[in-house]
Amino acid sequence: MRQVLLIATFLSILFLCSTHTFAQTDFRCGTVIPHDYLESQKRAMPGYFGCEQINRVNRKISVLFQVIRDSVGGTGVTDANLEQSINRLNEIWAPTGISFEFCERRNLDNHQFNEFVQLTDGEDMEAMYYEPNVINVFISATVNTISQGDVAGYAYPPGGKDIVHVKKSSMQDPEFPVLIHEMGHFLGLLHTFETSTGAELADGSNCTSAGDLICDTEASPTNNPADFSGTNCNYIGMPAADAMGNFYVPPSKNFMSYSGCGCEFTKQQYNRMVEQYLQIRNYLW
């Protein structure tokens, strides 16, 4: 019975996929995956490959929303927006048993952080407002990172700070998958088009050591949102072949792609997030 319920829950997530797409300039991600983290994951592969079921851990993680006011005191984000975002996270992560609790909202009066520039504002903002042992979700009008410039958000992967930072516009529509995408990074997922680990072959034969280190996500050669159709999210970019001459079929509906219509995680992505939580972020409880 438990397995049937898990399968039903997983299938209900898949049915959430729709043609709801978003302006790609609002979806770019600024998360940087440290080299040491990537190397450690390649050397010690966890046991989530080949799993036919989703591993579960009954843990609730507290989320502290920190909304930065603008120069006239406005926040641009309602309590309902935040509650809907938490509900959406819980809906998506239900197969894992990980849940998120809206523990508090704080409105920050330092409006200079509303147009956030990581290079000049990052250390000051974190020193003033960072709370340990919760997920700090900072929300500002703009987010400018050191590595990627203007982005929709970024997160620190396991082993880093307990911070996810997103734009206000991404919180105003609960279907906008930016917070989900960044929470995926927070719990150890890489982009489906990751190449820092090496280029994944189209047939997935090197999936344990290249690409996103996940074997049930299709290999992807592109991080260009324009390569996906805005109406049905099919890949419309130029045909791309790997080093063996095989053509890629990039994933268009995965939350960790740049298609802009992400609506699903795979079983191994779920299992990786559970493993990364238990091994590295289990103090969040």
Residue 50 zone, left/alpha/beta (φ > 0; ψ -120 to 50; rest): left
Mean pLDDT of 20-37: 73
Q: What is the mean pLDDT of the chain?
A: 88
Note the pLDDT tens digit of each residue in 232-252: 778 888 999 999 999 998 888
Q: Is residue 16 part of a domain?
A: no
Structural domain including 83 reads 28-175+270-280
Q: In this structure, are 166 and 210 located in the same domain? A: no
Least confident segment among 35-49, 94-108, 166-180 = 35-49
Q: In this structure, are 50 and 105 located in the same domain? A: yes
Mean pLDDT of 143-172: 95
Q: In this structure, are 274 and 242 located in the same domain? A: no
Q: In this structure, are 64 and 171 located in the same domain? A: yes
pLDDT at 252: 86
Q: How many domains does the chain contain in total?
A: 2
Please tell me which residue, 255 or 13, carries the higher pLDDT value.
255
Q: In this structure, are 117 and 241 located in the same domain? A: no
Mean pLDDT of 23-47: 73
